[in-house]
């Protein structure tokens, strides 16, 4: 193993670097050396400083090596001594050098861009980053991409309504202005045309959400939604609930479909008639209406699990309109990452899907495919969930009486 350069060696490099830099500048612009006081320094082209940023020529000059040596040292290529490689990296770090993305694209044929999109609701308007789950997932995904030298690009779902209301992919022209190396698709619906189009274009596709077997993704990451729903329903039953309802969606993504199926199977196992309402989850107003319908039913539930982030506040508001006390008359749980549920009156129990872990994994996986590391077969990762129990789902051992629904109080 070669020793790292000592102080005297580095100083010698610096003296050589200064000489080399001055000669380089003089050769390009003889009038620029020496520079008159208060004059403007000429800006070298082809890798020099631009707007104060160090270029690869600056690193080469400061390190006293060739541009090729700098490139090999920073990219882990070539047969360089460890001392040289370390020295070049130290000089690059000191100068604040960052490789040019355009140069990397020309050299490798890759853009360093990973796309992320939500295709669950087709062309319907859905600002997903306003929801705590997606915001946390995107933050983790962005940090992970940057740590591996990539950038995350948030893209709209390239779909439209076709004949009969079916969702049809718009094709690669929609994203033609962005050269992607891979894509993460969040909660794709069954037979999602976008996934098929991306795969046909040659991009590795990873799904946040277990896709249907017909979608040829390179990998997927998801939670065990069946176990999570069973755990929530058991928790509510243990706290005295005898008629548990569900607020669910109308979409065909795995999360909605599997969670709803798990609820129906639990009801069948314990001998309870299902009590649920469906609504289009991309429409926040529809959620409040569905919560009201659920609590207005003749078979009103004494506990409710809501699959989506706003359901906690929607159900709490509906309970107040009907004069229902939480948790005495109605137990509540919703799936959300929002910290605001810890401060509602009362605090609402939430299920966390751990989006930070999922965001990290869904970006690591396509980069592994792009760089040719990891297994060649499709990867499947299941992430844990956490039930954060608060006041809304705990009843203090009193008998349960399910009373008929009341007319909402006039606001």
Q: Where are the domains of the chain?
A: 7-27+48-99, 111-411
> 7-27+48-99 with 111-411: one CATH topology?
no
> Within its chain, how far is the Cα of 173 from the centroid?
24
Report the pLDDT value the prediction gives residue 5, as an integer from 0 to 100.
Answer: 41
pLDDT given at position 157: 63
Beta bridge partners, 381, equal 221
pLDDT given for residue 126 in this prediction: 52
- Distance in angstroms (rounded) separating the CA atoms of residues 394 and 330: 10
What 3 state SS string does the chain have? Answer: CCCCCCHHHHHHHHHHHHHHHHHHHHHHCHHHCCCCCCCCCCCCCCCCCECCECCHHHHHHHHCCCHHHHHHHHHCCCCCCHHHHHHHHHHHHHHCCCCCHHHHHHHHCCCCEEEEEECCCCCCCCCHHHCHHHHHHHHHHHHHHHHCCCEEEECCCCEEECHHHCEEECCHHHHCCCCCCEEEEECCCCCCHHHHHHHHCCCCEEEECCCCCCCCCCEEEEECHHHHHHHHHHHHHHCCCCCEEEEEECCCCHHHHHHHHHHHHHHHHHCCCCEEEEECCCCHHHHHHHHHHHHHCCCCCCEEEECCCCHHHHHHHHHHHCCCCCCCCCEEEEECCCHHHHCCCCCCEEEECCHHHHHHHHHHHHHHHHCCCCCCCCEEEEECCEEECCHHHCCCCCCCCCCCCCCCCCC
Superfamily classification of domain 111-411: Response regulator (3.40.50.2300)
d(Cα 386, Cα 208) in Å, to the nearest integer?
18
| CATH superfamily, region 7-27+48-99 | lambda repressor-like DNA-binding domains (1.10.260.40)
Label residue 111 by pLDDT band (50, 70, 90).
Answer: confident
pLDDT of 398 reads 46
pLDDT tens, residue by residue, 40-59: 333 333 444 545 678 888 99
pLDDT score, position 117: 85
Mean pLDDT of 333-338: 96
Retrieve residue 199's tokens: 């795969």
Q: Which of the four pLDDT bands, split at 50, 70 and 90, describes residue 18?
A: very low
- pLDDT, tens digit, 9 for 90 and up, residues 237-262: 999 999 999 999 998 888 999 999 99
User: Which of 17-21, 109-113, 137-141 shows the lowest mean pLDDT across its residues?
Assistant: 17-21
């Amino acid at each position: 193993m070669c020793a790292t350069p000592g102080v005297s060696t580095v100083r010698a490099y610096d003296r050589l670097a200064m000489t080399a830099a001055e000669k380089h500048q003089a050769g390009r612009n003889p009038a620029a050396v020496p520079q008159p006081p208060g004059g403007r320094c000429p800006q070298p082209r082809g890798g020099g400083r631009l707007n104060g940023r160090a270029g690869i020529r600056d690193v080469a000059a400061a390190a006293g090596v060739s541009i090729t040596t700098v490139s090999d040292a920073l990219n882990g290529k070539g047969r360089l001594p460890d001392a040289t490689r370390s020295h070049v990296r130290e000089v690059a770090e000191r100068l604040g050098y960052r490789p040019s993305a355009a140069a990397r694209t020309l050299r490798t044929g890759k853009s360093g861009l990973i796309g992320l999109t939500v295709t669950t609701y087709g062309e319907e308007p859905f600002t997903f980053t306003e929801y705590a789950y997606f915001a946390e997932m995107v933050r983790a995904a962005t940090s992970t991409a940057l740590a591996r030298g990539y950038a995350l690009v948030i893209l709209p779902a390239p779909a439209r309504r076709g004949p009969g209301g079916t969702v049809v992919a718009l094709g690669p022209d929609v994203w033609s202005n962005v050269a992607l190396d891979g894509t993460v698709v969040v909660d794709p619906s069954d037979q999602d045309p976008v996934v098929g189009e991306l795969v046909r274009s040659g991009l590795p596709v990873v799904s946040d959400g277990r896709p249907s077997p017909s979608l040829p993704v390179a990998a997927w990451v998801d939670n065990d939604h069946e176990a999570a729903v069973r755990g929530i329903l058991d928790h509510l039953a243990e706290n005295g609930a005898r008629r548990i309802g569900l607020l669910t969606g109308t979409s065909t993504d795995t999360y909605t479909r599997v969670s709803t199926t798990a609820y129906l199977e639990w009801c069948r196992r314990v001998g309870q008639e299902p009590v649920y309402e469906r609504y289009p989850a991309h429409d926040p107003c529809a959620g409040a209406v569905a919560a009201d319908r659920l609590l207005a039913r003749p078979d009103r539930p004494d506990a409710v699990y809501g699959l989506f982030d706003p359901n906690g506040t929607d159900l709490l508001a509906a309970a107040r309109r009907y004069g229902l006390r939480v948790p005495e008359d109605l137990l509540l749980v919703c799936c959300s990452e929002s910290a605001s549920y810890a401060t509602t009156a009362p605090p609402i129990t939430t299920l966390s899907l751990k989006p930070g872990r999922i965001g990290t994994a869904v970006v690591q996986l396509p980069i592994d495919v792009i760089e040719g590391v990891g297994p060649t077969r499709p990867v499947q990762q299941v992430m844990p969930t956490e039930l954060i129990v608060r006041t809304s789902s705990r009843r203090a051992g009193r008998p349960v009486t399910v009373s008929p629904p009341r007319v909402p109080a006039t606001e």
